[in-house]
Amino acid sequence: MTAAQSRNAAYALALLVPGGLMAGALISQYGFGLYPCEMCWWQRYPHIAAIVLALLAFTMKGRGAGDMAVILAAIATGISGLIGAFHAGVEYGWWEGVTACATVAASGGNPLDAIMNAPVIRCDVAPWSLFGISLAGFNFLISLSGAVLVFALLGKSRKGA
C-alpha cells in the first residue's frame, strides 16, 4: 500500500467507523425500539464530533490540517470506545455506574403524560447482546480498533512520504 493509499484509507475509516456506529445506533433506536440510556448518549457525542471532524478533514485533504482533523476524529472515536468500555462494565456488573436511569419522553400530546408514561431505560441492563457482547461492548471493540487503525494508517502514510 502506498503512502497516498494509506492516507486515503485513514481518512475514509475516520468517517466510516463513527458514521457506521451512529447509523447502527439510530437504526436500533428508531427501527427496533432500543432506546438509549444516558451512558449510550455519552457514547454518541464523540461519534458526532468525529463525523464532523472527518468531513472537515476531507475539505482540507492533502494539507497538514486535514491530517490533524483525522487525528482528532480518531481520538474522538477512541473516547467513545472508552466510554463504551465503561458502560459495558456497568452492564456486566463489574462496577457501579455514575448516573441514574434515563427516560425518553414521547412528543405530542400532554407533556406531563409523556413524561409520566415514558419508558425507564436503565444504564446497567444491556437491552441486546450477541455472543454475550452488549451494544456498548461492540462500540468499545469497533471504536478502539478503528481509532488504532486510523493512527496506524496515518503513521504508514508519513513513513512512506
Tell whether the model's pLDDT for residue 131 goes beyond 80.
Answer: yes
Query: Higher model confidence: residue 106 or residue 18?
Result: 18
Q: 44: which residues sit within 8 A by CB, 6+ positions away?
A: 22, 25, 36, 80
How much of the chain is helix, strand and coil, in % rounded to 5? 70, 5, 25
Q: What is the pTM of this model?
A: 0.81
Please report how many Cα atoms fall inside a 13 Å half-sphere around the Cα of residue 44, on the Cβ side.
Answer: 13
Query: Higher model confidence: residue 62 or residue 157?
Result: 157
pLDDT tens per residue, range 8-44:
899 999 999 999 999 999 999 999 888 888 888 899 9
Which residue has cell 464532523?
52
pLDDT at 35: 85
How many domains are contained in the chain? 1
Question: Mean of the pLDDT values across residues 84-104?
Answer: 76
First to last CA, the chain: 12
Tell whether the model's pLDDT for residue 103 goes beyond 50.
Answer: no
Identify the domain containing residue 66 by its residue range: 3-160
Length of the chain: 161
Tell whether the model's pLDDT for residue 115 goes beyond 50.
Answer: yes
Q: Residue 149 and residue 80: Cα distance in Å, rounded?
A: 15
